[in-house]
Structure 1
Amino acid sequence: MTADGEVHVAFTSVRAGNLARHVGEQQRDAVASRRRGLEAHMGVGSGTLRFLDQVHSALVLDAAEHPADSAHAPTGDAWISRGGAEPLAVMVADCLPVLLVGQGQGSAPLITGAAHAGREGLIGGVLENTVTAMREHGAESVQAWVGPGVCGSCYEVPAAMHEELGTVRPALASQTTWGTPALDLRSEAEEILRELGAGIAELAGCTLEDETLYSHRRAPGEGRFAGLVWRAR
């Protein structure tokens, strides 16, 4: 998928293999090889694709301040890149990967962003923080792509959590297809993005139902797929 003819957004599948070092077979060389293969497919330099040490926070990093380091990823759950200079990745396996492209006016550079938006991140403000950071660097308009995650008909949670969160965040309240309490992360993410004035391109896909995607709930520890945003060269 291409945004504005210059910036690409994409989501991998199990065909690209596990891209995370902390789950799966724990073979760092195999993960490194897959990441290099992905970079080649994207057409970006080897070792330039940025990965985060994700901790379900609302922390947003400026990729320009964190040089690519294949051994030590910086801790955070969202990126921005001024001018789209750095190719960005976020890894997921039920949480939502949200990719963003911001445009400034006149000669103002575009801003790209990528956020790991699970339950804790959404509640903590990871999307608000990402869009705010993009606007602080000149983005006047923001377009978001909400990628595959566990859907509101599958994300079963305890009744107490459903009641607590659904009361203050109605968009989260849902029910599984088998009639138990659930949360709808996509609905909440879209509600937040709309309130922020961002355009939304929704992409279908439930990680629990679709075996071409990794799912922590369906197969814990098997792997992570990635949301990617990068500028064409």
Structure 2
Amino acid sequence: MELAPGIRYAVADRHGGVSAPPFDTRNLGGTTADDPAAVRRNRELTACGLGLDPARVVFMRQVHSAEVRYVTEPFGTDAPPLDAVHTDRPGLALAALAADCAPVLLADPVGRRIGAAHSGRVGTVSGVVPALVAAMAEHGSNPADLVALVGPLACGRCYEVPAAMREEACAGLPELWSTTRRDTPALDVRAGITAQLTRAGVTGIRHDDRCTMEDRDFFSHRREQTTGRFAAYVWLTD
């Protein structure tokens, strides 16, 4: 699908891979307890299915940080710990893994630049998405030109947390405040990220509103505990 002119994206669900339960079947997460050979095959199958070169996909070693890096090639087996990347290289795809956290994709059709971030509760409170917008701006992108996609994640009606955690998170980002359907404390990470993007000057904000805890087409750590990771991809076309 097209995120912006000349920029394509895809959100891969959990189906169509080779992993055995509980990672069945398209687990793309390299730090899970899944068979590494199965993960590599899943990544190859997914890339090829999207028309991408499997050797030209950037996966991060995600650690719930606000670290951002400009990339010109994949990290290989020695990926540094970070949670956002951006590039201006056509054909180089960026992937953000998730299993309740939000994969967030950014596209600059004017400056021809793309970005991807992994933003869960900790990353959102830390500001990984605004940090990605700022990093892209430092490389010449105008935030007003950016188009963002906030992908599937645990929704604000499902993401239950202790009351003290909600208070602490919302002290710096009040838009996170939510309650579950049972009227217990919760966080709305989608609303928080949307507010951060808006304050950063991004107006073209799109959503894949599916909830990973409710939709079994996606992996969900909160629902399944030991599970795999799906991914959102973005890439510049030639």
The reply on whether 1:224 has 2:236 as its aligned counterpart is no
The reply on whether 1:48 has 2:52 as its aligned counterpart is no
What fraction of aligned residue pairs are identical, expressed as a percent?
38
Give 2:22's aligned residue. none
Q: Which segments of 5 or more consecutive residues in structure 1 lack a partner in the other structure?
A: none
Give 2:97's aligned residue. 91
Query: Which whole-Å deviations, capped at 9, do the CAs of 1:48-96 have from their partners, x for residues lacking one?
Result: 11100000000001112xx324422232100101244521001000000
1:1-233 paired onto structure 2 within 5 Å: 1-16=1-16, 17-24=26-33, 26-64=34-72, 67-104=73-110, 109-140=111-142, 141-198=145-202, 199-233=204-238
Q: What is the aligned-residue RMSD (CA, Å)?
A: 1.4
Compute the TM-score of the two structures, normalised by the length of structure 2.
0.90
Query: Which whole-Å deviations, capped at 9, do the CAs of 1:11-69 have from their partners, x for residues lacking one?
Result: 11011400012225x211111111111111121223111100000000001112xx324
Contact 1:21 1:28 in 2 (8 A): yes
Contact 1:103 1:139 in 2 (8 A): no
Contact 1:84 1:112 in 2 (8 A): no
Contact 1:63 1:86 in 2 (8 A): no
Residue aligned with 1:15, SS = coil
Letter in 2 for 1:42: L
Residue aligned with 2:62, SS = coil
Residue aligned with 2:106, SS = strand
Most deviating of 70-79 and 52-61:
70-79
Tell me how far apart the structure 1 counterparts of residues 127 and 4 of structure 2 sit (CA, whole Å).
27
Query: Which whole-Å deviations, capped at 9, do the CAs of 1:92-135 have from their partners, x for residues lacking one?
Result: 0000000000244xxxx411000000111111110111001111
Residue aligned with 2:78, SS = coil
Contact 2:91 2:237 in 1 (8 A): no
Tell me how far apart the structure 1 counterparts of residues 126 and 208 of structure 2 sit (CA, whole Å).
23
Tell me how far apart the structure 2 counterparts of residues 222 and 63 of structure 1 sit (CA, whole Å).
28
Contact 1:2 1:9 in 2 (8 A): yes
How many residue pairs match? The answer is 226
